[in-house]
Structure formats: structure tokens, C-alpha cells
Chain A
Amino acid sequence: MTAPRHLLSIDDLDRAGIERILDRAASFAEVAGREIKKVPALRGRTVVNLFYEASTRTSSSFELAAKRLSADVVSVRAATSSVTKGESLKDTVQTLTAYDPAAIVIRSPHAGAAQLVARWTDAAVVNAGDGKHEHPTQALLDVYTLRRRLGALDGKNIWIVGDVLHSRVARSDILAFARMGAQVTVSGPPTLLPRGIEALGCEVAPTLERLAEADVVYVLRMQNERMDEAYVPSLREYAARYQVNAARLQPHQLLMHPGPVNRGVELSADAIDSPQALIAQQVEAGVVVRMAVLYELLAGSGAGAPLVAEAAAEAVALA
């Protein structure tokens, strides 16, 4: 697979493509350890962050990633209100395209928004979450975090627990984990497991009875509004059946969560604060993985593009 022009879905990457990005992220991590954390790879180029949903960690880490690559960054917090009120997505993209961005990073409450943006602009498009569809950079940073800890995912048993139905993270993670050789099982209340999810290449377990089989327990956020919509009768009942806590977590298991955590709902405080939890490492990985994604799309594939090592050397020179 040649380097993709956009990152819209994990399906845009084969295993080698994922590994190439993660290796690059690892070399950026070395830069991140230095006092001057900038590399000049994208100097003079513009990255637009277009966010139609509230997001702290994803938008800030994309912003930081682009800045550490020396890009000019424009962050647009578009109103989430309907198309009837505001400017249409198409018009907004055409307006932003006038700035001649090298990349547009888009977060939208609607599946396929990133694909549409890619159709309307010459910039490279990065999907920073589209509806319940995908969140490919989250999946990449999750794989990165696990690779650092485990070396490889081959043959590992990964359980994704909770509200799979409404989770774009779950969809991208199932695809990415499976592509990296892991066995994926999804578990949660049957009302929150989408019919047909096994077609993504995972097993389905409606209870946590077999959770001990897992090497990695990946817990999803449980949103309060799911109860108003009668997906679960109460948070109390949900926590009783599906909360991952010290009693359910085995000592050999690693614990992950995409954040933000609802303490006492999907995770207990003792689990969150245990040394098995990789939650802080996931956040940390966000910046270097997103640097690697931007680098891959904007500087990685072209002939004569500066190698990371050279870029790092330049950074030293700048210091």
C-alpha cells in the first residue's frame, strides 16, 4: 500500500502503514524528550483544525502536534448547530481552503464528514472523529501505547468493554487491533452492542464472565444520556454488571480508556489509579502519533522529504 493522501479510516492503512507511522511516532518521542521539542518539517505550511464537536484532548493534541512540526495552525471551533442555521460544511471547507492549507483536521458529529471534506479540498484530510463511525488517530495512539508496553499485539487478547454501539473509538480500535494481529472481543449490555458488529472481525461476549482471558481491557466511556434513551435501566445496574474494578481486573491485565473517564461508572477509582492503567500514556502518545500522521501525509511519502533524523538534527541545530 502506498502512503495514503488522507487518513479517513483505519481501512486506509495496512499493517505496514500503521507500523511506519508508529515507528515515526517513536522517533518523534525522542524529540519530545528534548528541551526544544520542535522540528521544522512543516515550516511554512498551514494546518486547519475544524472541530464541530467539543473536544479537549483531541483538538489540543492535534494543535500541539502541528506546532511541534512548525506548521502554522488555525483552529476553528464551528458551531455544532444544524446546517439550516449556519454555513454548510461545504461552504466552510471552501472558505478554509482559500487559506491553502496543507491539511485539514476535522471532527464532526456525523459519519462520513471527513470523506466529504476530502472530496471538496486539495488538502490532506485527517479524520479526528466522525460521528459513531471512526476515530483513526485514537486507534493509532492506542496501538502505539500497547506496542510500547507489549512489543507486539500478535496473539494478544483485547477486550473492549462498554457502549460499543455509540463508540467511534471502538470501531477504529477493533479494526486496528485486529490488523496488528490481536484477538478482539467486545462486551457490554446487549442494548449497546450493535447487531452485526462481529463482521468487523471481533467476538461478542454479553457478560464479563470470561474477562480473565483478556491481556488488555479497553474500557469505553458510558454516557449519561444513554439512560435517558433507555439503553440501560440505571448507572447502578450498569456499574454492577460492567464496571471494571480491582475485583474484576487481573494482575496481568493492562487497562486502557480513551477518556474522559466517568469515575465510579465504567471504571472504579482503584482501577484507574492502578499501575496497570495506561490512560496517562495514551494521552501522552496522542501528540507524537498525531505528529507522525501529519508527517506521513504531508512530508512522508514525497521524494526528498526530510527524514525524521534530519529533522531532529535540524531541531538540535535550532537549539
Chain B
Amino acid sequence: MSAERLFHVPGEPAELLLRGVHALDPRSGLDAPHDVLVRDGVIAELAAPGSLPAPDGAEVVEGEGLHLFPAFFDPHVHLRTPGQEHKETLATGTAAAAAGGFCGIVAMPNTAPTLDDASGLRSLCAQARQEARVPVGFMPAITRGLAGTELTEMAELRDAGALGFTDDGRPVVAAGMLRRALQYQRLCGGTIALHEEDPTLSGHGVMHEGAVSARLGLTGIPSISESTMVARDSAIAAYEQGRVHFQHLSCVESVEALAAWKAAGARVSGEASPHHLTLTDEAVRSLDSRFKMNPPLRTEADREALIAGLRDGTIECIATDHAPHARHEKEVPFEEAPMGVTGLETAFPVLYTDLVLPGVLPLGLVVERMTAGAALLDLSTPRIAVGEPANLALLDLAGEWEVGARGYASKSANSCFEGRRLRGVVRLTLAAGAVVHRAELPAEVAA
């Protein structure tokens, strides 16, 4: 990974022999048991299972029955720092990432104050070097204060370490403003990531507009509030030959618009979240604020379209949109609650349990899509290959656990999967060559 745009507390380079693990990396064509030797934080050798002797001083992990994946990369999380450290800190957010098997995450700028100037970015990067357990990249705002009226100093921000730019949480409402940002992108580079929502259509909506919102009397957010903006901004990106990434897509029409503009040659990409891939607005019937997020959970047809888009590559990657909120903030009536759910610690187990095990998506594809976010931001992709830095996730796919039963590494507990029994326990995570997470063996994991 391009170190200059990711920041963390450097760990001790791992000396590790993973013996007999089932190594799965679709990009390397790996899908078989191997011995994997990590020396000085780098993948030094891949060999037949049981064939490698343990070098002096190296820790040996007996990995028979366990799966080794390239560690995951999440291009979309909220670390709430600065300003909302009661929800999450750089330390707790990256601990949650490590616990979820991630070796890199990207923090959004809707903090307090907004991350929209170079001095703020420099100090945040410095803080990450002191506190972040896994490498973190930062995407500052496209417009000052996310207000949509003035561009940030994008070139200076890029020099200070910006991975790209986003007004996430809000759309860039004015088409002309997005056009200026894309023109400026030619000067400074950096992917522009967009939260798509036409506020004149979404209004004060709190959930998907449809039969469930009609029943509950909740104001709906129609699918077209997202898809019309995906189409509009794809057209602007194509016109300016700019590069745009669509965040947390949620509906059929958006997937169709993205596919059409890709076919037309626009440099556009998309992400989908584990909750949009596995839940629908039926969950909101409970009026439980844990199911409130933006964009909202939509219908079964929308969920299926996202899965199809992920399968055929229209949607390149999975992103959690990890959005922590304090308990008291969510313990209010649905309409009053803030939007957002946590996701780092449950992302892979949810997709594995709900999509891979029932045969909806192949395991290799899920692993590929959970690592693909890095390349969209010009970062190198985590891989299992000799000479690569150790960015690895070791999982017990047979292991079962209950979400929340043992608490969370995140500072917040607003998971929409709380109480679910999931398959897939992250046993070990290596990020940038160092061990960043090691599961104590939970009692409920079957031996």
C-alpha cells in the first residue's frame, strides 16, 4: 500500500509460520492448503502444507481447518474524530477494523469540525500515527463544511495526504459544484466519492418509501432520490473525464444507471454495504432505530439487484459505512434517531453466513470484493503472494458467534445484526506486516 496516504502506529514486524492454512486469494489463483511464512512483516514463502520448518523465533500457528484471506479493505467508515469521540475514536475504530479482519480503512470527513483543510488533515494524520491500530486513510470534504457552496483546497489537501474527496453524509447538490471539483481533480488527482441523494426527493425521509413506510406512517426516501443523482453525476463525470466512486448504493435503479454509464465508458465505480446486501425494509417494521441508516434498507428486489451487481462487477467493492452512535442517541423513537449502523466487526461473517453459505455468492468473490476498495483509491491491493507485506486475515469459517454477546471493539454498539448468530470467526489479523488482532477463543466456538 502507498504508505504516504495511510497512517497508523507501526507495529512490530511479524515473524510467523501459518501452518496448513487454506489460503484463498482469487487474484493470486490461490485456493488450497499452504504453509505461509511471514518474516519481518513480509510474506516470505508459500509452500505445501506441512513442508516448512519453523524458523528460530517465529511463532507457529497451527492453521489446519482455518482459512487465510488477504485482509479486507474498507473504503468507507466513520471514525467520528475529531469532535464526536464519545461515539468512536481512532483507537477504537481501528480496533474494530482489526477485529473484523481489515488491514486498511478510509475515514469520512463529516466530523466536528468538518475535515476540510490541510492543517486539520495534518493533525489527524499525526494523531493516527499515535493511535490507529490499522492503517487509516482520510478523505477530506469536497466542499467546505460539507455546505456544497465552496470547494476545499483540494490540491493542498492532496499534498497533505488526502486519499480522495467526499462530502459523505450529504450529496453535492449543485451539479455545477461537482463539475468544478471534477475539473480540479485533473490537477490534483484523488477519487471523488459521492453520497447520492437528491434532497428535494428525500426530504425529511427516514426509511425507504414503499409499503412498509406506508404502514408505519414514516416519511419515505424514494429510490429515485439516489438513482437520479447517480445518473446525473455519471454524466458529469463522463463529460469531464473525471473519476467518481458511488458510495453505499441501495437500489435497482442505481445499479442500472451505474452499469449503463460504465458501458458508455465513464470512469465510475460503486460500493454496497453488508446491510444493504442482506436486509430489507421489512426489518424496519420493528421500529428499532438500529435499522435506521442512510441510504435506507430497501426492498427484496433492490437487495437482489445489489447482489447481482456485485456478482457481475458493476459494483466493485463492499464497504461497511461503519457509522457508530452512542447508545443514548439511538435509544429514542425511530424518527428522532441518527442515521447509521456499525459494521466493521460483522461485515465478513454476515456476508459469509447470509450469502456464501446459502450459495448466493461464491466465497472467492466475496473475498475479492472485500479487498477491491483499495485499488479504487489508487492503493495497492492486499494479496497473498511472496514479497507482499503481510496483510492477512485468518478465519475459522466453522466457528459460530453471537453478535454483541461479548461486546464490541468499537466504542458503539449500534449493530443491526446484534443478537444474530453468525459463522466466521476472525482469529488473527495482520496489517502492514504486524499482528493487529488476535481472538481470544470464545467459549461458544465449537472445537
Contacts and interface: CB of A to CB of B under 8 A. Distances in A.
Contacts of A116: 331-333
A131 B217 contact: yes
Contacts of A197: 214
In this complex, the member of B211, B216, B217 whose beta carbon has the largest number of chain A beta carbons within 10 angstroms is B217
19 contacts: A83-B332, A90-B331, A111-B218, A112-B216, A131-B333, A131-B335, A132-B218, A134-B217, A167-B217, A171-B217, A194-B220, A195-B220, A196-B209, A196-B210, A196-B211, A196-B213, A196-B215, A199-B214, A200-B215
A254 interface: no
Contacts, number: 73
A171 B214 CA distance: 9
Give 3 closest A-B pairs by Cβ, nearest first.
A132-B217, A112-B287, A110-B333
B217 A195 contact: no
Interface in A93-148: 108, 110-113, 115-116, 130-134
A88 interface: yes
A82 B335 CA distance: 12
A273 B210 CA distance: 38
Nearest to B218: A111
Interface in B188-226: 209-218, 220, 222
Contact of B335 (A89, A110, A196): A110
Contacts of B102: none
B12 interface: no
A194 B214 contact: yes
B335 A88 contact: no
B217 A111 contact: yes
Contacts of A200: 214-215
B165 interface: no
Interface residues of B, number: 20
A131 B333 CA distance: 10
A168 interface: yes
Nearest to B329: A83
B62 interface: no
B267 to A, nearest CB: 35
A82 B328 CA distance: 14
B336 interface: yes
A111 B214 contact: no
B93 to A, nearest CB: 25
Given A111-B218, A111-B287, A194 B333 contact: no
Interface of B: 209-218, 220, 222, 287, 328, 331-336
B334 A194 contact: no
B231 to A, nearest CB: 21
Contacts of B214: 194-197, 199-200
A148 to B, nearest CB: 28
Given A89-B332, A131-B333, A199 B215 contact: yes
A194 B213 CA distance: 8
B213 A89 contact: no
Nearest to A194: B214
Given A83-B332, A111-B333, A113-B333, A171 B218 contact: no
Contacts of B331: 88, 90, 116
Contacts of B217: 111, 131-134, 166-168, 171
Contact of B334 (A112, A171, A196): A112
A134 B285 CA distance: 13
Interface string A151-178: 0000000000000001110010000000
Nearest to B334: A112
Interface string A183-215: 000000000001111011000000000000000
A195 B334 contact: no
A196 B216 contact: no
A116 B212 CA distance: 19
Given A111-B217, A134-B217, A195-B220, A89 B333 contact: yes
Nearest to A130: B333
B273 to A, nearest CB: 24
Most buried by B among A82, A131, A200: A131
Contact of A110 (B211, B328, B336): B336
Contacts of A199: 211, 214-215
Contacts of B333: 89, 108, 110-113, 116, 130-131
A166 B336 CA distance: 17
B213 A83 contact: no
A111 B334 CA distance: 7
A197 B215 CA distance: 7
A200 B213 CA distance: 11
Nearest to A82: B336
A134 B331 CA distance: 20
Interface string A18-50: 000000000000000000000000000000000
Nearest to B289: A112
Nearest to A91: B328
A195 B332 CA distance: 26
Contacts of B210: 195-196
B290 to A, nearest CB: 12
Nearest to B333: A110
A131 B331 CA distance: 17
Given A113-B333, A131-B333, 6 more contacts: A88-B331, A110-B332, A115-B287, A132-B218, A168-B217, A195-B214
Nearest to A131: B217
Interface in A69-100: 82-83, 88-90
Contacts of A90: 328, 331-332
Contacts of A108: 333
Contacts of B332: 83, 88-90, 110, 116
A88 B326 CA distance: 14
A186 B335 CA distance: 25
